[in-house]
Chain A
Amino acid sequence: MSAQSYDTFVLAFSDPTSNSPNPQRARINANSSFELFDDSHIRTLSSNNGGGDIEGLLYVPTLQQFDPCVNASAQYVPNNVTRLSNLPQAEYVYIAFAPWISAACTKSYLAAAQGITAFMFYVPDNGTTIPPPVNDETWDLHDGGQWKAHYRFPVYAIPGTEGAATMQQLAQYSGNSSNDEISAILSEVQFDQSDYVRLYTSFGTTGSNNLPTLWAFLLIVLGIVLLLIGATSVSMHYFQRRHRRALQRRVENGEVDLETLGIKRSHRIPPEEIEKLPTYIYIPTNDTPNEVNRAQFSELSSETAAENHTFFSQSSCTICLEDFIPKATEVRSLPCHHIYHPQCIDPHLASRSSRCPVCMAQVLPTKNEPITNAMVRAERRLRERQRMHGGSADGIDGTWWITNFRRQLERGRRVFSAPDTTSGTTQPTRSQIEMNAVGGRTVSSPMPAASNRTAAEMSGPQTEADEVRPPAADVNARRERMRRRLSRMRGPERTLEDEEAERWARMPRWRRAVGTMFPGFR
């Protein structure tokens, strides 16, 4: 922690090691003793230490007996200065204090300091300005700065004059009540005469207080944001799931058929499954099977044999419209009892649809393939379109604007599942189609006499404007037909499922992640 300020003052306190019933401490008024506060001239040389208050009783570490620095510092450090031995050995933390005379002596002092919270140096130059910056050569201990890592306490420097004054006071307040001043102070605060009066230093550090609160605040904000995102994601998943379930139910009840709507890829039937569908020799209903034919029906189970007459009443193949030749044509029977030439129905089942072309019944039981969110959206879109289309009667009543307004509302409501705007490059966008439609409309005016609009407007009191701008519902329906027509022209039909898969494959990874997190947000 770097320090912004420091405060050295006189503290009177009872000896924590004595069994005094109520330990006391009191900060002595600066008027009757000493205080040094400075919030602009302190330099942080090493900012170790994790956090918490940096403060403690001030003392000068005692150097080894034969250390040359003892002599070198003698002129700055009085003999009776406060040493560790002058301080209580329990309960209190300490801050070491020494003059920065040379690199060697500083190293000695650092080594001599034990169990301290911080070290405070001063350069004995009588300077009053802030000590030089950290990278100044003054502070070079010729070890490449390793000492900062070695001594895991913060090191500060204060101006020379302040250091000298502190040193002087440190000598003043080192003894016991035999010293008159200490005795006077103890009397003043009504402490026991055996109690201590010493210098105490407290550093005002930045960050140690502010930073944690800032972090806490940021964490709280982050937490709330994450919570909101999570809640949104969960609720979106929940609603989408409900819609999927609802659609699933309706599919199971046979209310909707996603395959014929072009939403779901109609599943084809594998050739081996087609081969399993029974084939018979065609015999019309009115032709009673004779013994020979019975032999030909060897593969027939008794159950289906009983139903012979039902399915053989069909006299021609509805695909090629050819009549079946009695006792000669081989026919394939689907579970719905419709019969076809195998060469007509097999390719259809294998490559186009799994349904009977006549009654649209599933040839194989429908597999419960999962309903996707895109299917839900597409189905709802189609349903709405149908509703709009059915509601064109409203439009004719002259209340088409209500339909239009409702549509606008609808559009607003579907923020989370807006209709797809792009459906690939091969396919014209819907707006283009609409433009084409409108364009075609304007060119070929509905008025027989007028070849263009201007003429019609000039000549006619007709309701030209009304006709050029049809009700929204009609545009909608018309657009839908245009889309259908275009999709027919496009060749083999692509289902929504295919489009969705392609769209998903085209998306960048982050977009897919967003899509997974917020289903329906497009």
Chain B
Amino acid sequence: MAQKRIVKEYSELQKKPLDGMRISLPSEADMHQWQILIDGPKGSPYEGGVFTLHLSLPTEYPFKPPTLSFKTKIYHPNVTNDDKGSMCLGMLRADEWKPSSKIEAVLSFAKALLLEPQPDDAVEGGIAREYKENKKEFIKNAKAWTKQYAKK
């Protein structure tokens, strides 16, 4: 069932791709691991960068939420700064996930988060504080990181 649904969602996203996103499978044999290239949204400090994301779908999908992580380093209050790059998405939490949620919604949400970080729900406290208190500095840092790590 999981396989069927994943194939369906994948082909739908291939047919009608989301704006500024390219989805591919690192391994054709494994439908559970997706690679997503996402363009930094216009008007955000990430503009001009391309970020690689990894979406991992558990075998229990859609009953268990997928996990989304940034492979490209990003200066963002809701993405951990470690090598995992885990993204904090409310809808991906085990207790908030609903099987009726689609990957499309997850990806749209991730994109919206790039455009508008949520410092109150942060995993990186320092960045969140900077975002709230010193936005200029934040934008400067985020742009610098985008330039360094997320070049096209």
Interface residues of A (CB under 8 A from B): 260-262, 318-322, 343-344, 347-348, 352-353, 357-358, 360, 389-390, 392-393, 395-396, 437, 440-441, 443-444, 446, 448-449, 463, 466-468, 470-471, 473-475, 477-478, 481, 484-485, 487-488, 492-493
Contacts and interface: CB of A to CB of B under 8 A. Distances in A.
Contacts of B119: 396
Nearest to B129: A396
Interface residues of B, number: 47
Contact of B64 (A392, A443, A488): A488
Given A344-B1, A478-B123, 10 more contacts: A261-B95, A319-B100, A321-B8, A389-B121, A392-B120, A446-B141, A470-B125, A471-B129, A474-B125, A481-B123
Given A348-B63, A446-B75, A343 B1 contact: yes
Contact of A262 (B8, B95, B129): B95
Contacts of B75: 446, 448
Nearest to A259: B95
7 contacts: A319-B100, A395-B129, A396-B125, A441-B82, A466-B126, A481-B80, A487-B94
B145 interface: yes
A408 B65 CA distance: 34
A475 to B, nearest CB: 7
A481 B68 CA distance: 13
B4 interface: yes
Interface of B: 1, 4-5, 8-9, 58, 60, 62-65, 67, 73, 75, 80-84, 86, 88, 93-95, 98-100, 102, 119-130, 132-133, 141, 144-145, 148-149
A477 B5 CA distance: 33
A354 to B, nearest CB: 13
A298 to B, nearest CB: 30
Given A448-B145, A474-B125, A357 B82 contact: no
Contacts, number: 124
A126 to B, nearest CB: 99
B83 A440 contact: yes
B126 A467 contact: yes
Given A319-B5, A358-B98, A437 B63 contact: no
B62 A446 contact: no
A322 B148 contact: no
Nearest to B69: A485
Nearest to A382: B95
B95 A477 contact: no
A485 B86 contact: yes
B44 to A, nearest CB: 17
Contacts of B99: 318-319, 348, 357-358
A474 B86 contact: no
B122 A392 contact: yes
A348 B1 CA distance: 11
